[in-house]
A = this chain, B = another copy of it.
Amino acid sequence: MKYSELFCPTLREVPSEAEVVSHQLLLRAGFIRKTTAGVYTYMPLAQRVLRKIMNIIREEMDRAGAQELLMPIIQPRELWEQSGRWAVYGEEMFRLKDRHNRDFALGPTHEELITSLVNADVHSYRDLPLMLYQIQNKYRDEIRPRFGLMRGREFIMKDLYSFDADYEGLDVSYNKMYEAYKRVFDRLNLKYRVVEADSGAIGGSESHEFVVLADTGESEIVFCDNCDYAANVEKASCLAPKEEDTSPLLDLEKIATPGQKTIEEVARFLGLPASRHVKTLLYKADGEIIAVVIRGDRELNETKLKNFLHCTHLAMAEENEVRKICAAGFGSLGPVGLPCKVYADLEVARMRNFVCGANEDGFHLINVNMGRDFVPEAVADLRNAVKGDKCPVCGKELEVQRGIEVGHIFKLGTKYSEAMGATFLDQDGKEKPFIMGCYGIGVSRTMAAAVEQNHDEDGIIWPVPIAPYQVIIVPVNIKDAELRVVAEEIYKTLLAAGIEVILDDRDERAGVKFKDADLIGIPVRITIGSKSLKENKVEIKKRWEKDAELVAVSEVLAKVKDFLNI
């Protein structure tokens, strides 16, 4: 491809709307353009990256024995009524009516459709197991679409569904996908971790996330360097502290804390660290107001709370709802005398003489003790794990890393097959519901995650397997006939060897060309300048290294293959 013909409009400025680095760089490097909030055009270079990602995914899904199909994006309401999700999905689902006033959804996922499809055509255990997948646009009407491709409203997913006759079969299918996913991310050349994940709203029993590591990632994962344990913070178990505070119980006292509302303010005011405080949070769980208490320096884990309460709807209580059961506002709440159920985190049960709100504006209690001053409804693991927590498997200290969830595999069991009456005739002559699993990879998100992980201040550094082009040739002055001739010669040699190469034939200053080459992130750059060409040599440089090598023109192809590891 000649650069002069490439549709790759680069920008010098960082677009103000872009908060995260992948969004900034993909915009600046001409890979994406925004149509409207959360909706993007993938420009030609991005389309090349996406197709490479898709091809690797396809090869590994096929290798694992799955078959590709393509389901509709517009899905009739009736299917979603069968699973009960038409009502549940809420505003996140794009909905529309056709000219006959029939309701449709733009598919946010395809469990309903695939279950109905398989149910119609698969009747016997003999036709199982079955793994079917597609690669297609998905739709979610996010309240605040942002971070470019990270949280879009229209995005590309690979979604695969497995159907088995029994749970042993599901384990086999699940493990095949687990291994296939590892091969996918290995081949994409991304640094990632597989972590235990919560199955969340989608239901089911076991679940793993594939997380591309990046300091800028929105997910936090904990892992143990001593054993294999890894989990996202939503899932990671926090053990009860082994050490118990054995200090004598002091007398409960009410202290005036005028104007001090946050834990930090009260901690500073009282001269006690946040770890000696207890935070009281009020939630509405399926309509009932409840309180949760956790150590002052911890974060509540809503997923754990929701799972523990087995509730469908969970949201923080509004201040007016709090005021109905308690005279105090958010900053002065505490578990003592609170007229609602109180749930305490494991750590709180081990604390003595702690501080909390007095349920009276401007006052706090000190020397509070659970059991003596209040009795919780239950004690449970309700907080997010943090660095330094003990590994639930081996007991060593956990580490924390940030990353981006790009893949997710779930054991669904019979959640959809039972709801939709999707059954097969088993070997024993009985009708049984299919045992299902579902397995997703965010394709467009993986492209963004690759950028989050692989970039520097000059631009993107594409991993070789998904780079839009492998090599860029930069003659420093296109008007110099000698340079041009050598550039075109090398261009033809590389093309003939099946290498994907851009020839920067633009009449621009060398500096501009280098900047663009770095920005769009082509792995190997060949620079052709007069000085080295006198010795019949050109410069070859890897995008992620600082220094170039001088290579004889005749050796260029061999060196490029070496650099690309092909």
Contact = CB atoms under 8 A, between A and B. Distances in A.
A145 to B, nearest CB: 10
B41 A69 contact: yes
Contacts of A154: 72-74
B117 A71 contact: no
Interface in A84-123: 91-92, 94-96, 98-99, 102, 106, 113, 117, 120-122
Interface string A42-55: 11101110100000
A141 interface: yes
Contact of A33 (B67, B73, B117): B117
A131 to B, nearest CB: 9
A69 B94 contact: no
A30 B137 CA distance: 24
A246 interface: no
Interface stretch (A3-11, A368-376, A381-389, A512-520): A3-11
A120 B33 contact: yes
A9 B122 contact: yes
Nearest to A98: B141
A35 interface: yes
A40 interface: yes
A395 B196 CA distance: 77
B132 A69 contact: no
B69 A44 contact: yes
A130 interface: yes
A113 B72 contact: no
A75 interface: yes
Interface residues of A, number: 52
A72 B6 contact: no
Given A33-B121, A106-B96, A132-B7, A44 B71 contact: no
A113 to B, nearest CB: 7
Contacts of A6: 67
B7 A67 contact: yes
A141 B99 contact: yes
A282 to B, nearest CB: 26
A206 interface: no
A139 interface: yes
A7 B44 CA distance: 34
A503 interface: no
A contacts with B: majority SS? mixed
Contacts of A40: 72
B41 A71 contact: yes
Contacts of A33: 117, 120-121
A287 interface: no
Contacts of A48: 68
B68 A130 contact: no
Given A132-B44, A141-B98, A72 B7 contact: no
A102 B71 CA distance: 27
A404 to B, nearest CB: 21
Contact of A9 (B5, B39, B121): B121
A400 to B, nearest CB: 34
A76 interface: yes
B35 A76 contact: yes
B41 A137 contact: no
Nearest to A114: B41
Nearest to A41: B71
A498 to B, nearest CB: 15
Contacts of A122: 9
Given A9-B122, A35-B72, A44-B67, 18 more contacts: A5-B65, A7-B132, A9-B121, A33-B117, A35-B71, A35-B76, A35-B113, A36-B72, A39-B74, A41-B70, A42-B71, A43-B69, A46-B70, A47-B70, A74-B94, A74-B106, A92-B99, A137-B137
23 contacts: A6-B67, A33-B117, A35-B71, A35-B72, A35-B75, A35-B76, A35-B79, A35-B113, A36-B76, A41-B69, A41-B71, A42-B69, A43-B69, A44-B67, A44-B68, A44-B69, A44-B132, A46-B69, A72-B154, A74-B94, A74-B154, A94-B98, A98-B141
Nearest 3 pairs between A and B by C-beta? A96-B96, A9-B121, A44-B67
